[in-house]
């Protein structure tokens, strides 16, 4: 795609002067931030389009132009005041860098200066006779006063003049513009495909990990069975017990780890419960894995179709339309969160905030260390503390004012979030323990997020998509206030 050259700029100035000298500018638009559109009396249906696209500036007389805004902005109003009603006196190339339209209006003189050299381009209206009197009236941003001059190079329309010249220049520059726009569209779809593939790959890896944990749960069943045969051998407070496994050849001795805070029967039930939970979850995990793998396969087929479309012929001129049809199969782009008003040096909050149905505040920890910060530095003694029982998960705090009984629906909302933000989220029923924060303790040297709980109660939570959506909508509202 030819870039502007000295010869092309000089040729353009000559042809524009022949076409526009003596004509009036009767309407000015700024269709896009770096684009100026002038309606010239007597040139209908053509208009003078000044497109300052970075790296690809162009000045053409064309019957095609971008859609113009219904309401003019401040820059448009300034340019209208400076240019509308002005007569084109002359057009010249200046200093191998600029195209200058000399204008007259009401006895005064001014110039529309269009810089087409360098990386940044701009258009400015300057009034006055000399350097000392010159003043800037209006400009489209992007000034690059020290830009190097245009280089020598070809002028694709060098042999053309008059209407033939403008028709050829119009056709060539729009073809180049459309090709760049099409390339950007393909690049954008390729980036979306890459992001979606990365997301699906993470989901597949997570599902495979869950499936492996489900397979490993058979070991929990075996430990439970071994404990069943040795309940009378376990001393209170023991952290392990050695049991003979008579079901295996050679009757080996097997060490079964124990939770010292539980008695032998409770340890046995804990192993069986973990096994049953993972056994129930396995079909769902397998279905999820299959779904993600099929989505990856479909995405790879879509990527191949996009690549083939990009390199293939566009005989009917419908390539961009077909690209849009392919891109429609991708998940919609997620909205970008607005920049945070929090200082860049301020620490991130250890929790995410939700609102219960009655407006009560629910805080959900963001990870193991964040759980500790939420529970022991943010929560108050009377707040309710919730956590999915016997599985890793987020600490959840339901704010409770002193002397106020929390609403049952608020507790259900908090319990659902505790279940959803735990490793048991895919189960049909999740046991959630809850108690006042003052009954939660941190043992010295305990791992991040690991706590001991007294006086806890249990709440069985079932999946509730509508309730969960309402809760997530509440946090979106908090993140993006009206």
Residues 145 and 187 in one domain: no
User: Which is nearest to 290 in space by CA: 216, 209, 204, 215?
Assistant: 204
Phi/psi at 101 (5° precision): -100, 110
In a domain, 340, yes or no: no
Q: Calculate the alpha carbon distances from 415 to 218, 406, 478 in Å.
A: 29, 13, 20
Query: For position 43, what pLDDT does the model report?
Result: 86
Query: For position 475, what pLDDT does the model report?
Result: 81
In a domain, 295, yes or no: yes
Residue 264 in tokens: 């032998």
Q: In the chain, what is the straight-line distance between the N-terminal and C-terminal CA atoms, in Å?
A: 47
Query: For position 302, what pLDDT does the model report?
Result: 96
Return d(Cα 419, Cα 390) in angstroms, integer: 11
Query: For position 180, what pLDDT does the model report?
Result: 92
Instruction: Report CA torsion sign: 134, 135, 141, 146.
Output: positive
Strand partners, 244: 253
In a domain, 250, yes or no: yes
Residues 365 and 273 in one domain: no
Residues 16 and 65 in one domain: yes
Residues 65 and 200 in one domain: no
Query: What is the total count of domains within the chain?
Result: 3
Residues 313 and 381 in one domain: no
At which residue do the structure tokens 């690809």 appear? 56
Residues 303 and 385 in one domain: no
Residues 407 and 468 in one domain: yes
**Residues in the chain, pLDDT under 50:** 1, 337, 344, 480-482
* CB under 8 A, 24+ apart: contacts of 127-131: 127/82
Residue 145 in tokens: 């006063």
Point out the domain boundary residue: 129, 159, 189: 159
Residues 236 and 106 in one domain: no
- Boundaries of domain holding 442: 351-479
Residues 291 and 360 in one domain: no
Radius of gyration of the chain (CA): 36
Point out the domain boundary residue: 125, 159, 193: 159
Return d(Cα 261, Cα 238) in angstroms, integer: 9
Residues 203 and 150 in one domain: no
Return d(Cα 163, Cα 158) in angstroms, integer: 13
In a domain, 173, yes or no: no
Query: For position 1, what pLDDT does the model report?
Result: 45
| CATH code: domain of residue 116 | 2.30.310.10
In a domain, 30, yes or no: yes
pLDDT in tens, 245-266: 888 899 999 998 998 888 899 9
In a domain, 175, yes or no: no
Residues 91 and 42 in one domain: yes
Return d(Cα 186, Cα 209) in angstroms, integer: 34
In a domain, 448, yes or no: yes
**Strand ranges (DSSP E) for 331-456?**
351-355, 361-365, 384-388, 396-398, 430-436, 440-441, 452-453
Return d(Cα 121, Cα 34) in angstroms, integer: 9
In a domain, 171, yes or no: no
pLDDT in tens, 5-54: 999 999 999 999 999 999 999 999 999 888 999 999 988 899 999 999 88
Alpha-helical (H) ranges within 238-263 are none
Residues 149 and 11 in one domain: yes
């Amino acid at each position: 795609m030819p870039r502007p050259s000295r010869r092309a700029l000089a040729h353009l100035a000559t042809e524009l002067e022949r076409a526009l000298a003596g004509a009036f500018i009767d309407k000015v638009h700024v269709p896009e931030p770096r684009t100026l559109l002038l309606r010239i009396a007597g040139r209908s249906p053509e208009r003078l389009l000044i497109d300052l696209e970075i790296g690809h500036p162009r000045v053409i007389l064309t019957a095609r132009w971008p859609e113009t805004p219904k309401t003019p902005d401040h820059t448009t109003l300034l340019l209208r005041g400076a240019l509308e009603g002005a007569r084109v006196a002359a057009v010249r190339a200046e200093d191998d860098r600029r195209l200058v339209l000399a204008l007259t209006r009401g006895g005064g003189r001014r110039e529309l200066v269009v810089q087409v050299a360098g990386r940044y381009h701009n258009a400015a209206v300057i009034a006055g006779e000399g350097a000392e009197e010159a003043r800037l009236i209006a400009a489209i941003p992007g000034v690059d006063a020290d830009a190097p001059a245009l280089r020598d190079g070809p002028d694709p329309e060098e042999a053309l003049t008059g209407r033939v010249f403008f028709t050829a220049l119009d056709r060539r520059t729009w073809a180049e513009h459309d090709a760049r726009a099409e390339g950007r569209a393909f690049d954008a779809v390729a980036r979306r495909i890459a992001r979606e593939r990365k997301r699906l790959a993470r989901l597949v890896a997570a599902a495979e990990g869950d499936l492996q944990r489900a397979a490993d749960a058979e070991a929990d069943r075996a430990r439970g069975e071994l404990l069943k045969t040795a309940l009378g051998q376990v001393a209170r407070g023991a952290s392990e017990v050695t049991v003979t496994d008579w079901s295996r050849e050679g009757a080996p001795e097997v060490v079964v780890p124990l939770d010292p805070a539980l008695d032998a029967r409770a340890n046995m039930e804990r192993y069986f419960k973990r096994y049953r939970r993972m056994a129930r979850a396995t079909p769902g995990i397998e279905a999820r894995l299959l779904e993600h793998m099929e989505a990856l396969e479909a995405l790879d087929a879509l990527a191949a179709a996009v690549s083939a479309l990009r390199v293939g012929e566009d005989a009917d001129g419908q390539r961009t339309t077909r690209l849009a049809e392919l891109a429609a199969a991708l998940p919609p782009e997620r909205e970008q969160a607005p920049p945070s008003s929090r200082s860049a040096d301020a620490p991130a909050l250890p929790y995410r905030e939700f609102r219960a149905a009655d407006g009560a505040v629910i805080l959900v920890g963001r990870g193991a260390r964040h759980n500790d910060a939420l529970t022991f530095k943010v929560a108050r003694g009377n707040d309710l503390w919730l956590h999915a029982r016997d599985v890793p998960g987020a600490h959840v705090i339901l704010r409770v004012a002193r002397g106020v009984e929390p609403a049952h629906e608020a507790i259900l909302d908090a319990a659902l979030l505790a279940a959803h933000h735990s490793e048991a989220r895919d189960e049909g029923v999740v046991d959630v323990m809850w108690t006042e924060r003052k009954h939660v303790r941190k043992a010295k040297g305990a791992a991040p997020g690991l706590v001991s709980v007294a006086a806890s109660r249990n709440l069985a939570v079932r999946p509730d998509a509508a309730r969960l959506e309402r809760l997530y909508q509440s946090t979106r509202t908090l993140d993006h206030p009206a």
